[in-house]
């Protein structure tokens, strides 16, 4: 089943006299239940592609469909709600709120949505990620690997259909990075989610079910 679909998507950034075509007429289908890796050189457009797939950025031209619905025909408020409920994000920089505890960071998406978190699901997630003893800690009291576990837990708490990960191992050593990839894969399988991960590491990309290569703003072969 097609979960996400891009139709003739282009993205152009203009700064003064500088015009950068980050994506050029991209057509892409993401099927439910697979682990996708997006690879490409720096500046190839892979992060722009991920941001549009996650409705964090609007394309200059073209359409994004999520579960058959045209995303960018919606209002900004509707897109925010859709993104919060259907898409989980894991970033290289973790993006945890330093003034909040681990538990508060994990529960933030549910609280923003005005919903009471499912206690059983919360227990299952923190157990799967082995962070039960870190819930009262603050992010700056954790290692990089532990922070990324918290970020994964936060991405999973609202039971999204899709997990988008932008270079989630970029700040980690090789061993910890592989542990994080294993956790993302195991969590997605356990909670029946689709993964789309941006990486420059071919060893990580080879672990995906499907590889999407970006070359100069276009999908390569």
- pLDDT, one tens digit per residue, over 22-32 is 999 999 999 99
User: How many other β-carbons are positioned within 10 Å of the β-carbon of residue 25?
Assistant: 15
Q: What pLDDT score was predicted for residue 184?
A: 82
**Above 90 in pLDDT, residue 167?**
no
Reported as a pLDDT band with limits 50, 70 and 90, residue 116 is confident
Mean pLDDT value across residues 78-94? 87
CATH number of the domain residue 175 falls in: 3.40.50.300
| Interatomic CA distance for residues 150 and 140, integer angstroms | 12
Question: Which residue in this structure is represented by tokens 């203009």?
Answer: 14
Q: Which range has the worst mean pLDDT, 18-27, 38-47, 115-124?
A: 115-124
DSSP-assigned beta bridge partners for residue 19: 14
Higher per-residue pLDDT: 25 or 171? 25
**Which band of pLDDT confidence, cut at 50, 70 and 90, is reported for residue 1?**
low
**pTM of the predicted structure, to 2 decimals:** 0.86
**Phi, psi (rounded to 5 degrees) for 4:** -125, 145
pLDDT given at position 208: 92
The answer to whether 210 and 36 are in contact (CB under 8 A) is yes
Given a cut of 80, whether residue 21 has pLDDT beyond it is: yes
Range of the domain at 121: 2-219
Q: Is the pLDDT of residue 155 over 70?
A: yes
Instruction: Show Cβ contacts of residue 31 under 8 Å, excluding neighbours closer than 6 positions.
Output: 1, 2, 3, 194
Give the mean model confidence (pLDDT) for residues 92-111.
90
Please, which residues have CB within 8 angstroms of residue 43's CB and are 6 or more apart in sequence?
Answer: none
Lowest model confidence (mean pLDDT) among 35-39, 59-63, 188-192, 208-212: 188-192
What per-residue confidence (pLDDT) applies to 59?
95
**Signed CA dihedral, 107, 111, 115, 116: sign only:** positive
Structurally, the chain folds into a number of domains equal to 1
Kindly tell me if the per-residue pLDDT of 93 is higher than 90: no
């Amino acid at each position: 089943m097609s979960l996400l679909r891009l139709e003739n998507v282009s993205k152009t950034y203009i700064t003064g006299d500088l015009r950068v075509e980050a994506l050029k007429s991209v057509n892409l289908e993401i099927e439910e239940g697979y682990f996708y890796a997006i690879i490409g050189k720096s500046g190839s457009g892979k992060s722009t592609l991920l941001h549009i797939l996650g409705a964090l950025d609007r394309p200059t031209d073209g359409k994004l469909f999520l579960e058959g619905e045209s995303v960018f025909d919606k209002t900004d408020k509707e897109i925010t709600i859709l993104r919060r409920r259907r898409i989980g994000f894991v970033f290289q920089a973790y993006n945890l709120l330093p003034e909040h505890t681990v538990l508060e960071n994990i529960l933030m998406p549910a609280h923003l949505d005005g919903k009471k978190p499912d206690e059983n699901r919360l227990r299952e997630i923190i157990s799967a990620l082995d962070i039960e003893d870190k819930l009262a800690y603050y992010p700056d009291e954790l290692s990089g690997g532990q922070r990324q576990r918290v970020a994964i837990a936060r991405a999973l708490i609202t039971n999204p259909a899709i997990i988008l990960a932008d270079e989630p191992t970029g700040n980690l050593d090789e061993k910890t990075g592989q542990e994080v990839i294993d956790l993302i894969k195991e969590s997605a399988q356990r909670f029946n989610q689709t993964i789309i991960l941006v990486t420059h590491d071919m060893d990580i990309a080879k672990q995906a079910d499907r590889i999407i290569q970006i070359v100069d703003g276009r999908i390569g072969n």
